[in-house]
Chains A and B, each alone.
Chain A
Amino acid sequence: DQQVKQNSPSLSVQEGRISILNCDYTNSMFDYFLWYKKYPAEGPTFLISISSIKDKNEDGRFTVFLNKSAKHLSLHIVPSQPGDSAVYFCAASASGANSKLTFGKGITLSVRP
């Protein structure tokens, strides 16, 4: 049972335009959400996170939006750059010292020059 779903396996956008990466979750206990970026031959690196008490968090070109009622979050990258081309993983966790991160399958973003 996939509790964190990234239904689109890939996304291609033009350099300078907005990239919108979507993520859905099914577990209502999840209250903390993260995005990771992964380049080939490297481990995932933390990008941005959001707590369920917020509906938006911004860090430079990256903004994450959370819609708790729809159990949906999205990552916006504006403007997109060729160096943003990577696999993006959405992850979620529930409160508690023993909580683990549950990841989606990832979205491959390609930014065309």
Chain B
Amino acid sequence: KAGVTQTPRYLIKTRGQQVTLSCSPISGHRSVSWYQQTPGQGLQFLFEYFSETQRNKGNFPGRFSGRQFSNSRSEMNVSTLELGDSALYLCASSLAGSNVLTFGAGSRLTVL
């Protein structure tokens, strides 16, 4: 079955712009989590959605937001981009009640 699909894979933006990243989870997975990976910082938790509700939120400023649709697809948005937002943004999905996340390949964001 198809894995977690993230689009776009690569994108370049300039400071002050905003960006929207998309994630399609594995069919049947209703939980979607987002993580930011930067060099030397590992995977930092952004937020988790389940049945269109945000269940958990990490320690990121309000410029980072997300949502989940009724088909479990999710989007995250970053407004007023800063240079430090350059990172790999990873989406992961899981079955309800499972601790095992399945990750997509990520969206590589570069902010110039």
Contacts and interface: CB of A to CB of B under 8 A. Distances in A.
B100 A45 contact: no
B55 A43 contact: no
- Range class of the B interface residue count: 20 to 34
Interface string A21-65: 000000000001010100001111110010000000000000000
A69 interface: no
B26 interface: no
B45 A44 contact: no
Contact of A97 (B40, B97, B100): B97
A108 B77 CA distance: 30
A101 interface: yes
A97 B56 CA distance: 10
Interface core residue of B42, B45, B103 (most chain A CB under 10 Å): B42
Contact of B100 (A49, A99, A100, A102): A49
Given A100-B48, A105-B42, A46 B102 contact: yes
- Range class of the A interface residue count: 20 to 34
Contacts of B58: 100
B97 to A, nearest CB: 7
A6 B42 CA distance: 10
Interface string A66-83: 000000000000000000
B13 to A, nearest CB: 20
Nearest to B100: A46
A99 B104 contact: no
B55 A101 contact: no
Contacts of A43: 4, 90, 92, 103-106
Nearest to A103: B43
A106 B43 CA distance: 9
A97 B42 CA distance: 24
7 contacts: A32-B99, A44-B103, A97-B55, A99-B56, A99-B99, A100-B33, A102-B45
Interface of B: 4, 33, 35, 40-45, 48, 55-56, 58, 90, 92, 97, 99-106
